[in-house]
């Protein structure tokens, strides 16, 4: 955790000593160079006045969006999925992140295709940018969103709220498990985590992997429908 986030956690705990967990989620986790604020999910035994939390953020000096809840209190399926897929525990035992699974809705193929659309939007922004750091960050985000599209398709096919890609790969039938393994190793690990995407062929590679992900989504949807019809 960065020193800046450590200071934010310190300020929040100062105004609310009953905090159990503080989780960071959203774009500040998976695209920190592009995020304009920090999204936090705070679980506390006793909710305090919202003004106190806002004051803590003001003292910290940055921009943060806070979701405050009590233990076992319901959270929206969108927040639950974001916390499970992209959450990072800044303080506490991590029970909030583990418990988010029961509030998640099952993903759909439409969700997967929407992620492809969002990836295309970031790809367009990357091509239009003259700033090298911003452009490269947009390319990385576009590639990672393609991976998320594939992950959502796998979750839909398996009718599961499981987000861990290793578990999803193990449960997918052939040839989809091999295809998903390629998405993990290239899009998610090599291109994003290792930052080794082909900068001189970024546009060509994006289109290539986008087509593969679209074929993966359509293939799972067709295979699943065929299985149901038997």
- The answer to whether residue 48 scores a pLDDT higher than 70 is yes
pLDDT digits (tens, 9 = 90+) for 124-168: 999 999 999 889 989 999 999 999 999 999 999 998 878 888 999
Residue with more model confidence, 215 or 85: 215
Tokens of 221: 């949807």
Report all structural domains of the chain as residue ranges with CATH numbers, in order of start: 3-103 (3.30.460.10), 109-229 (1.20.120)
Per-residue confidence at 171, pLDDT binned at 50, 70, 90?
A: very high
The answer to whether residues 132 and 115 touch, using CB atoms and an 8 Å cutoff, is no
Kindly state the average pLDDT of the residues 163-183: 94
- Cα 50 off chain centre by: 26
- The answer to whether residue 184 scores a pLDDT higher than 90 is yes
The answer to whether residues 113 and 107 touch, using CB atoms and an 8 Å cutoff, is no
**∠ CA(209), CA(174), CA(85), 5° rounding?**
55
Per DSSP, the three-state class of 198 is coil
What distance in Å separates the CA atoms of residue 57 and residue 150, rounded to the nearest whole number?
Answer: 36
Kindly state the average pLDDT of the residues 196-221: 97
Per-residue confidence at 213, pLDDT binned at 50, 70, 90?
A: very high
- The answer to whether residue 88 scores a pLDDT higher than 70 is yes
- Look at residue 1 in the predicted model and tell me its pLDDT: 60
Handedness of CA 87, 77, 8, 131 (dihedral sign): positive
- Look at residue 29 in the predicted model and tell me its pLDDT: 84
Per-residue confidence at 116, pLDDT binned at 50, 70, 90?
A: very high
- The answer to whether residue 46 scores a pLDDT higher than 90 is yes
Kindly state the average pLDDT of the residues 119-125: 94
Residue with more model confidence, 162 or 110: 110
* Predicted TM-score (pTM) above 0.85: no
Residue with more model confidence, 52 or 106: 52
- Look at residue 162 in the predicted model and tell me its pLDDT: 82
Instruction: Give the residue among 90, 78, 68 at the shortest CA–CA distance from 18.
Output: 68
Per-residue confidence at 30, pLDDT binned at 50, 70, 90?
A: confident
- The answer to whether residue 230 scores a pLDDT higher than 50 is no
Q: Looking at the DSSP assignment, which residues form a beta bridge with residue 42?
A: 22, 68
The torsion angles phi and psi of 65, rounded to 5 degrees, stand at: -105, 125
Compute the radius of gyration of the chain from its Cα atoms.
19
Residue with more model confidence, 33 or 192: 192
- Look at residue 226 in the predicted model and tell me its pLDDT: 57
- The answer to whether residue 105 scores a pLDDT higher than 80 is no
């Amino acid at each position: 955790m960065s020193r800046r986030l450590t200071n934010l956690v310190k300020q929040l705990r100062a105004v609310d000593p009953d905090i159990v967990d503080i989780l960071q989620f959203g774009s500040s986790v998976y695209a920190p160079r592009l995020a304009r604020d920090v999204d936090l999910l705070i679980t506390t035994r006793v909710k305090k006045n919202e003004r106190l939390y806002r004051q803590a953020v003001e003292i910290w000096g940055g921009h943060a969006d806070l979701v405050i809840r009590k233990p076992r209190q319901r959270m929206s399926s969108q927040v639950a999925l974001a916390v499970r897929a992209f959450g990072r525990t800044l303080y506490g035992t991590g029970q909030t992140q583990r418990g988010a699974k029961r509030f998640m809705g099952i993903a759909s193929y439409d969700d997967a295709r929407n992620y492809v659309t969002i990836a295309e939007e970031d790809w367009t922004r990357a091509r239009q940018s003259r700033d090298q750091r911003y452009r490269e960050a947009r390319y990385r985000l576009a590639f990672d969103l393609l991976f998320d599209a594939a992950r959502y398709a796998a979750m839909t096919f398996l009718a599961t709220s499981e987000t861990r890609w290793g578990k999803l790969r193990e449960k997918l039938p052939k040839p989809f498990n091999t295809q998903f393994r390629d998405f993990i190793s290239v899009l998610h690990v090599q291109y994003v985590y290792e930052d080794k995407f082909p900068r001189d062929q970024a546009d060509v590679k994006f289109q290539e992997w986008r087509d593969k992900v679209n074929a993966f989504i359509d293939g799972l949807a067709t295979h699943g429908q065929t299985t149901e019809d038997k």
